[in-house]
Protein backbone atom coordinates (compact mmCIF):
# COMPACT_ATOMS: atom_id res chain seq x y z
CA UNK A 1 0.00 0.00 0.00
CA UNK A 2 1.15 3.62 -0.45
CA UNK A 3 3.43 5.18 2.13
CA UNK A 4 1.76 6.94 5.02
CA UNK A 5 0.71 10.44 4.01
CA UNK A 6 1.52 9.94 0.35
CA UNK A 7 -2.11 9.85 -0.76
CA UNK A 8 -2.52 13.48 0.27
CA UNK A 9 -0.44 14.49 -2.75
CA UNK A 10 -3.53 14.92 -4.91
CA UNK A 11 -5.24 17.24 -2.44
CA UNK A 12 -2.06 19.26 -2.10
CA UNK A 13 -2.02 19.77 -5.86
CA UNK A 14 -5.67 20.75 -5.98
CA UNK A 15 -5.35 23.15 -3.07
CA UNK A 16 -2.75 25.14 -4.97
CA UNK A 17 -4.85 25.89 -8.01
CA UNK A 18 -3.49 23.21 -10.30
CA UNK A 19 -7.08 22.49 -11.37
CA UNK A 20 -7.21 25.89 -13.02
CA UNK A 21 -4.28 25.39 -15.39
CA UNK A 22 -5.00 24.99 -19.09
CA UNK A 23 -3.55 22.08 -21.10
CA UNK A 24 -1.78 24.54 -23.38
CA UNK A 25 0.51 25.80 -20.63
CA UNK A 26 3.57 24.02 -19.33
CA UNK A 27 2.93 22.80 -15.79
CA UNK A 28 4.29 25.56 -13.61
CA UNK A 29 1.87 25.52 -10.70
CA UNK A 30 3.44 24.94 -7.31
CA UNK A 31 2.18 22.65 -4.62
CA UNK A 32 2.31 22.84 -0.85
CA UNK A 33 3.80 20.03 1.20
CA UNK A 34 1.23 17.58 2.53
CA UNK A 35 0.83 18.22 6.24
CA UNK A 36 1.11 14.53 7.12
CA UNK A 37 4.22 13.97 5.00
CA UNK A 38 7.53 14.93 6.66
CA UNK A 39 9.69 16.98 4.34
CA UNK A 40 12.63 14.70 5.11
CA UNK A 41 10.84 11.41 4.36
CA UNK A 42 12.90 10.86 1.21
CA UNK A 43 16.03 12.69 2.32
CA UNK A 44 19.08 11.16 0.68
CA UNK A 45 17.06 9.61 -2.14
CA UNK A 46 17.56 10.56 -5.79
CA UNK A 47 14.80 10.19 -8.38
CA UNK A 48 15.22 10.78 -12.11
CA UNK A 49 12.09 11.82 -14.03
CA UNK A 50 12.20 11.40 -17.79
CA UNK A 51 9.45 13.27 -19.69
CA UNK A 52 9.23 11.47 -23.02
CA UNK A 53 10.04 13.10 -26.39
CA UNK A 54 10.48 16.88 -26.87
CA UNK A 55 8.89 19.75 -28.75
CA UNK A 56 11.81 20.34 -31.09
CA UNK A 57 12.03 16.76 -32.32
CA UNK A 58 9.63 17.24 -35.24
CA UNK A 59 11.77 19.98 -36.80
CA UNK A 60 15.00 18.02 -36.34
CA UNK A 61 14.12 14.80 -38.15
CA UNK A 62 17.67 13.91 -39.14
CA UNK A 63 19.00 14.43 -35.64
CA UNK A 64 16.45 12.21 -33.94
CA UNK A 65 16.75 9.57 -36.68
CA UNK A 66 20.40 8.86 -35.94
CA UNK A 67 21.11 5.44 -34.47
CA UNK A 68 22.17 5.13 -30.84
CA UNK A 69 22.85 2.16 -28.56
CA UNK A 70 19.76 0.28 -27.36
CA UNK A 71 21.56 -2.24 -25.16
CA UNK A 72 22.84 -5.75 -25.70
CA UNK A 73 24.57 -4.80 -28.96
CA UNK A 74 21.48 -3.38 -30.64
CA UNK A 75 20.69 0.13 -31.91
CA UNK A 76 17.60 2.23 -32.51
CA UNK A 77 16.76 5.80 -33.43
CA UNK A 78 17.67 8.61 -31.04
CA UNK A 79 14.06 9.58 -30.31
CA UNK A 80 10.65 10.12 -31.91
CA UNK A 81 8.14 12.95 -31.97
CA UNK A 82 5.58 11.12 -29.83
CA UNK A 83 1.85 11.14 -30.40
CA UNK A 84 -0.87 13.75 -29.92
CA UNK A 85 -4.57 14.00 -29.15
CA UNK A 86 -7.00 14.43 -32.03
CA UNK A 87 -7.33 18.11 -31.10
CA UNK A 88 -3.56 18.58 -31.44
CA UNK A 89 -2.55 18.49 -27.76
CA UNK A 90 0.95 16.99 -28.01
CA UNK A 91 2.23 14.12 -25.95
CA UNK A 92 5.55 15.85 -25.28
CA UNK A 93 3.69 18.70 -23.57
CA UNK A 94 1.55 16.35 -21.49
CA UNK A 95 4.65 14.42 -20.45
CA UNK A 96 6.42 17.50 -19.14
CA UNK A 97 3.34 18.92 -17.42
CA UNK A 98 2.84 15.74 -15.41
CA UNK A 99 6.57 15.35 -14.77
CA UNK A 100 6.83 18.82 -13.24
CA UNK A 101 3.99 18.03 -10.85
CA UNK A 102 5.64 14.76 -9.84
CA UNK A 103 8.91 16.62 -9.32
CA UNK A 104 7.23 19.08 -6.96
CA UNK A 105 5.65 16.35 -4.85
CA UNK A 106 8.85 14.35 -4.51
CA UNK A 107 10.92 17.40 -3.64
CA UNK A 108 8.42 18.25 -0.91
CA UNK A 109 9.10 14.81 0.52
CA UNK A 110 12.83 15.53 0.60
CA UNK A 111 14.00 13.73 -2.53
CA UNK A 112 16.61 15.07 -4.92
CA UNK A 113 14.92 15.11 -8.32
CA UNK A 114 16.74 15.24 -11.65
CA UNK A 115 14.78 15.89 -14.86
CA UNK A 116 16.07 14.66 -18.23
CA UNK A 117 14.53 17.78 -19.80
CA UNK A 118 12.89 20.89 -18.37
CA UNK A 119 11.45 22.64 -21.44
CA UNK A 120 9.31 21.75 -24.45
CA UNK A 121 11.40 23.52 -27.10
CA UNK A 122 14.49 21.33 -27.23
CA UNK A 123 15.57 18.21 -29.10
CA UNK A 124 15.93 14.86 -27.35
CA UNK A 125 17.86 13.92 -25.35
CA UNK A 126 18.42 10.65 -27.18
CA UNK A 127 17.07 7.57 -25.48
CA UNK A 128 20.53 6.29 -24.52
CA UNK A 129 21.33 9.64 -22.92
CA UNK A 130 18.10 9.50 -20.94
CA UNK A 131 19.22 6.20 -19.43
CA UNK A 132 22.71 7.57 -18.78
CA UNK A 133 21.31 10.47 -16.75
CA UNK A 134 19.76 8.04 -14.29
CA UNK A 135 22.81 5.79 -14.25
CA UNK A 136 25.24 8.65 -13.69
CA UNK A 137 23.09 9.95 -10.82
CA UNK A 138 22.99 6.48 -9.22
CA UNK A 139 19.28 7.11 -8.90
CA UNK A 140 17.27 5.18 -6.35
CA UNK A 141 14.42 5.18 -8.87
CA UNK A 142 13.85 6.47 -12.39
CA UNK A 143 10.63 6.82 -14.33
CA UNK A 144 9.84 7.72 -17.92
CA UNK A 145 6.46 9.45 -18.33
CA UNK A 146 4.47 9.12 -21.55
CA UNK A 147 1.05 9.12 -23.16
CA UNK A 148 0.15 6.44 -25.69
CA UNK A 149 -1.37 6.74 -29.16
CA UNK A 150 -3.56 3.76 -30.06
CA UNK A 151 -6.93 3.16 -31.70
CA UNK A 152 -9.63 5.17 -29.94
CA UNK A 153 -11.37 2.05 -28.67
CA UNK A 154 -8.50 1.22 -26.30
CA UNK A 155 -8.06 2.90 -22.95
CA UNK A 156 -6.12 2.69 -19.71
CA UNK A 157 -2.62 2.85 -18.26
CA UNK A 158 0.45 0.64 -18.73
CA UNK A 159 3.50 0.15 -16.52
CA UNK A 160 6.34 -1.07 -18.74
CA UNK A 161 9.64 -2.60 -17.70
CA UNK A 162 12.51 -4.08 -19.66
CA UNK A 163 12.58 -7.78 -20.45
CA UNK A 164 16.12 -7.49 -19.13
CA UNK A 165 18.35 -4.53 -18.36
CA UNK A 166 22.09 -4.03 -18.40
CA UNK A 167 21.81 -3.57 -14.65
CA UNK A 168 21.35 -7.33 -14.32
CA UNK A 169 18.88 -9.55 -12.51
CA UNK A 170 19.03 -7.72 -9.19
CA UNK A 171 18.24 -4.42 -10.89
CA UNK A 172 15.43 -6.04 -12.85
CA UNK A 173 13.90 -7.27 -9.59
CA UNK A 174 13.98 -3.73 -8.21
CA UNK A 175 12.35 -2.40 -11.39
CA UNK A 176 9.66 -5.04 -10.95
CA UNK A 177 9.03 -3.82 -7.40
CA UNK A 178 8.77 -0.24 -8.69
CA UNK A 179 6.34 -1.42 -11.36
CA UNK A 180 4.11 -3.08 -8.77
CA UNK A 181 4.13 -0.02 -6.52
CA UNK A 182 3.09 2.25 -9.40
CA UNK A 183 0.42 -0.19 -10.59
CA UNK A 184 -1.16 -0.16 -7.12
CA UNK A 185 -1.28 3.62 -6.86
CA UNK A 186 -2.57 4.00 -10.42
CA UNK A 187 -5.43 1.64 -9.61
CA UNK A 188 -6.20 3.52 -6.41
CA UNK A 189 -5.73 7.12 -7.50
CA UNK A 190 -5.48 7.79 -11.23
CA UNK A 191 -9.10 7.36 -12.25
CA UNK A 192 -8.01 4.96 -14.98
CA UNK A 193 -8.20 1.21 -15.49
CA UNK A 194 -5.37 -1.02 -16.70
CA UNK A 195 -4.94 -0.85 -20.49
CA UNK A 196 -7.61 -2.78 -22.37
CA UNK A 197 -5.62 -3.04 -25.61
CA UNK A 198 -2.14 -4.23 -24.70
CA UNK A 199 -0.17 -5.92 -21.95
CA UNK A 200 -1.46 -7.97 -19.03
CA UNK A 201 -3.72 -6.09 -16.61
CA UNK A 202 -1.69 -2.90 -16.99
CA UNK A 203 1.72 -4.58 -16.92
CA UNK A 204 3.97 -4.99 -19.95
CA UNK A 205 7.56 -6.05 -20.61
CA UNK A 206 9.45 -4.93 -23.70
CA UNK A 207 12.90 -5.50 -25.13
CA UNK A 208 12.97 -2.55 -27.56
CA UNK A 209 13.11 0.43 -25.19
CA UNK A 210 16.66 1.74 -24.86
CA UNK A 211 15.86 3.91 -21.86
CA UNK A 212 14.93 0.78 -19.92
CA UNK A 213 17.40 -1.71 -21.44
CA UNK A 214 20.40 0.51 -20.68
CA UNK A 215 19.34 1.39 -17.15
CA UNK A 216 21.50 0.18 -14.28
CA UNK A 217 19.07 1.66 -11.74
CA UNK A 218 15.43 0.68 -11.09
CA UNK A 219 13.43 2.20 -13.93
CA UNK A 220 10.03 1.79 -15.58
CA UNK A 221 8.04 3.61 -18.24
CA UNK A 222 4.47 4.71 -17.55
CA UNK A 223 1.95 5.17 -20.36
CA UNK A 224 -0.53 7.36 -18.50
CA UNK A 225 -3.38 6.73 -20.95
CA UNK A 226 -4.34 6.57 -24.61
CA UNK A 227 -4.43 10.06 -26.07
CA UNK A 228 -6.72 8.87 -28.89
CA UNK A 229 -9.39 7.61 -26.48
CA UNK A 230 -12.09 10.17 -25.56
CA UNK A 231 -12.22 9.19 -21.89
CA UNK A 232 -8.48 9.03 -21.36
CA UNK A 233 -7.74 12.30 -23.12
CA UNK A 234 -10.45 14.11 -21.15
CA UNK A 235 -8.53 13.17 -18.02
CA UNK A 236 -5.12 13.91 -19.53
CA UNK A 237 -6.09 17.34 -20.90
CA UNK A 238 -7.62 18.56 -17.64
CA UNK A 239 -5.40 20.02 -14.96
CA UNK A 240 -7.38 18.09 -12.35
CA UNK A 241 -6.74 14.88 -14.26
CA UNK A 242 -3.04 15.57 -14.60
CA UNK A 243 -2.90 16.26 -10.87
CA UNK A 244 -4.43 12.83 -10.20
CA UNK A 245 -1.97 11.14 -12.53
CA UNK A 246 0.99 12.97 -11.00
CA UNK A 247 -0.12 12.06 -7.49
CA UNK A 248 -0.46 8.40 -8.49
CA UNK A 249 3.05 8.41 -9.95
CA UNK A 250 4.60 10.23 -6.99
CA UNK A 251 2.83 8.03 -4.46
CA UNK A 252 4.01 4.89 -6.24
CA UNK A 253 7.60 6.12 -6.16
CA UNK A 254 7.28 7.08 -2.49
CA UNK A 255 5.87 3.66 -1.64
CA UNK A 256 8.71 1.97 -3.52
CA UNK A 257 11.41 4.02 -1.82
CA UNK A 258 9.96 3.74 1.68
CA UNK A 259 8.46 0.26 1.78
CA UNK A 260 9.77 -2.05 -0.95
3-state secondary structure the chain: CCCCCHHHHHHHHHHCCHHHCCCCCCCCCCCCCCCCCCCCCCCCCEEEEEECCCCCCCCCHHHHHCEEEEECCEEEECCCCCCECCCCCEHHHHHHHHHHHHHHHHHHCCCEEEECCCCCCCCCCCHHHHHHHHHHCCCCEEEEEEEECCCCCCCCEEEEEECCCCCHHHHHHHHHHHHHHHHHHHHHHCCCCECCCCCECCEEEECCCHHHHCCCCCEEEEEEEECCCHHHHHHHHCHHHHHHHHHHHHHHHHHHHHHC
| 189 labelled catalytic | no
- Choosing from 103, 189, 192, 223, which is the catalytic residue? 223
Catalytic positions are: 223
Amino acid sequence: MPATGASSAASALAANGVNGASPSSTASATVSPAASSPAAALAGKTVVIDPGHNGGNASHAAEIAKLVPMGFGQTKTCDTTGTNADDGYPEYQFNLQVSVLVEQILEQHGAKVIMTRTTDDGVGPCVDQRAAIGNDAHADAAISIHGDGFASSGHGFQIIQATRSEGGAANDARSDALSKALHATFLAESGETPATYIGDDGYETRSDLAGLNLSTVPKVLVECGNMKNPGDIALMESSAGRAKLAAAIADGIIDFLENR
